[in-house]
Amino acid sequence: MNYKKIFQIGLIKTLRFNFHYFGLKGLKLPVLISRYTRLSKLGGVVIANCTSPGCIHIGFDGVSIFDVHHERAIWQNTRNITFEGSATLGQGTRISCKGNLKFGKRFRLTANSSIVCYDSIAFGDDSLISWNCSFMDTDIHKVLDVDGNIVNNNRPVRIGNRVWIGSNTTILKGTEIGSDNVVAAASVLTGQKIPESNQVIGSHGVILKREISWEP
């Protein structure tokens, strides 16, 4: 962590978060919280499979086009969030978890994105999420048929390993993206399943280019 980010650490918030979720093990401070982060709900369970100090960052700046003072991260958790390894949830990351949310190893979300988890959302290892993205496994509100039955149940979202998701992308319930893919900026995926790898994917699962690779 560079000196600029050191001055952004919210010490009280960092201590509160770590001791709440990890007890005495939180003395190692595996999670660093920016002073610009709002800890709206410290509920549920957090599992961190990395224990080194500061292996998980929440709310720190990292994209020059956003002002960290005005793009506050928000943490709301009432269920289960798992970090499989190191992770960065950049400035303006908004998390509302009422289900099971998992971040793979070396996960990075750059800025100003939202994750709303009522069922299950899982990101694989080495995933990179650009800014202004949204992930939802729920419609939040119920839609009923003429007999009063719910027709829009929650469905899991699965993102594979080494997936790069471009800015301003929306990924909705039931979507599954295989490993080693790139999702083009401003795409919308609504329940598509992309099992193949090494592709650039556009809206509604359209394959824009095949046999590609990408570097973080």
pLDDT in tens, 42-60: 999 999 999 899 999 999 9
Lowest mean per-residue pLDDT among 27-36, 67-76, 84-93? 67-76
**Does the structure show a pLDDT above 80 at 193?**
yes
Angle at 142 between CA 141 and CA 148, to 5 degrees: 160
The CATH architecture of the domain made up of 125-150+158-216 is 3 Solenoid (2.160)
pLDDT score, position 210 = 96
Q: Please choose, from the candidates 60, 56, 58, the residue with its C-alpha nearest in 3D space to the C-alpha of residue 85.
A: 56
Mean pLDDT of 76-103: 98
Cβ neighbours of residue 152 under 8 Å, at least 6 residues apart?
A: 139, 142, 143
User: Domain coordinates of the chain in residue numbers?
Assistant: 1-112, 125-150+158-216
- The percent of residues above 90 in pLDDT, for the chain, comes to 91
pLDDT score, position 4 = 76
pLDDT score, position 70 = 86
Confidence of residue 2 (pLDDT cuts 50, 70, 90): confident
Confidence of residue 216 (pLDDT cuts 50, 70, 90): confident
Confidence of residue 90 (pLDDT cuts 50, 70, 90): very high
How far is it, in rounded angstroms, from Cα 48 to Cα 104?
11
How far is it, in rounded angstroms, from Cα 156 to Cα 186?
21
For all residues of the chain together, what is the average pLDDT? Answer: 96
Per residue in 133-161, pLDDT (tens digit) is 999 999 999 999 999 999 999 999 999 99
How far is it, in rounded angstroms, from Cα 147 to Cα 82?
38
CA dihedral of residues 54, 59, 61, 64 (deg, nearest 10): 150
**Does the structure show a pLDDT above 80 at 85?**
yes
pLDDT score, position 102 = 98
Residue with tokens 């992930």: 135
